[in-house]
Each structure stands twice: as C-alpha cells, then as structure tokens.
Amino acid sequence: MKNDLSALLTVHGLRRQHGERVLFEIDRLSIDAGSAYVLTGVNGAGKSTLLRMLAGLERCEACTVELDGQRAPLYPYPAALRRSIVYVHQHPIMFSTSVGHNIAYGLLARGEDRRAVRGLVEEAMRWAGVEHLRDTDPNRLSGGEKQRVALARARVLKPRLLLLDEPTANLDGQAREQVLALIPTLLHEGGSVVMACHDRDLIGLPGVRRLKLREGRLEIR
C-alpha cells in the first residue's frame, strides 16, 4: 500500500435525516490517496447510506466535494467522480447475460476497445477465480460467486476509490474465505478502498484505518 497520504477526496456537509431523526451529520470527510479504511458502526448507523452518497446513488444536495483540487457540488453527481469511484453493493446486481459480459460491462460502457476489453476481462476472471464460470448465467451463481464477480467487475475499471458495502456479509465457509482472500490484493493496487463492515478479519487487516459512525458523528481511529 502506498504511503502517500495526500487527500484524494474531501467531502463537506454530509448529512442525512429521516423524519425528525438525524442519521448522521459529518462536517468533513477526507479520504487519502492509496489508503484503506473500514467503516464500522451498529446496524442502522448509516454506513451503507454514507457509501451510497459518496457513490452518487443517494442525493446529498447540500454537500460539496473536492477532487484533484477542484471543488463542486456532490449533487448533481460530477462526471469526474463517476469515472473515479466504483461502488460494490452487499447484494450485487447481475445482468442476465454471462459472467464475462458482466465483468466487461463497465469497460464497454466507457467505449474501450473490444479487443483490449477481452484481455482485461480474462485477467480479472483469473484474479477472482471465476474463469470457469465465463459463460455461466449469473442467475445460477452462488452468493460467494456473485460477490467475486462483482469485485472483478469493479477492479477491472481501475477506480481511484473503491467502496465495498459489507463484502463478506451473508457468506460463510469457503465462500467467505475466497472473498476475504481477494481483499488484501485490492488494498495493495494503489487506489483507495473504503469497506463498510462488521467483519473482524477485515477490520484487522494490516494498514487499514478505521472510521466509526457513532450517534450521528464520524470518529476517525
């Protein structure tokens, strides 16, 4: 993991309210380049909501964001963030095509050369250990296989910031171990990673910093 701790992304004014209840209010959140974080907190603290706001999947109309020295509103979601940040849902959505097409989708949507995409997808499938599932209908995959495909689909885009929402939740046994084995390789590929989780094995990974949502505030440990 890189030692460069210059800020990659800084977000100001993160706030979410449900009715009369303020879920969280965070004046400033800074994510350093080449760094890994775990985001912890009790169920209902707002971990998934926070990640989804950073990914542009939930509105944050009063928020502003700084990326590469440029400051802009977080909503509407800036195009520069859309290319730099990738979010992986706890229950990944798969297109009903094939595993290979699912991994290629983001690259094709960006207009990448199809011959180059094939090579990148093959490498991503080898990394995730799913090359034998290349032509499989994703509806036939297990939960652990879907999570590995989703990680490969995210990794192949080479995001500057990868947001993982409970990547090992609802997995046990070999499926959990296979996903756990992929995470450290992500942490050492130069981008930044934020993982919302309760998993002690992820929280305890070397070099990972801890963010904790507690009573609407963000604690940095």
What domains, with CATH codes, occur in the chain?
Answer: 36-59+78-220 (3.40.50.300)
Q: 107-112: which pairs have CB atoms within 8 A and are 24 or more residues apart? A: 107/156, 107/157, 110/83, 110/157
* Residue 6 confidence (pLDDT): 87
Give the count of alpha carbons within 13 A of 36, CB side only: 20
What pLDDT was estimated at residue 5? 54
pLDDT of amino acid 215: 94
- pTM of the predicted protein model: 0.95
Which strand ranges, in their side-by-side order, compose the sheet holding 217-220? 85-88, 161-165, 192-196, 36-40, 209-214, 217-220
pLDDT in tens, the chain (221 residues): 444 458 999 999 999 998 889 999 999 999 999 999 999 999 999 999 999 999 999 999 899 999 988 999 999 999 999 999 999 999 999 999 999 999 999 999 999 999 999 999 999 999 999 999 999 999 999 999 999 999 999 999 999 999 999 999 989 999 999 999 999 999 999 999 999 999 999 999 999 999 999 999 999 98
Q: What is the pLDDT of residue 201?
A: 96
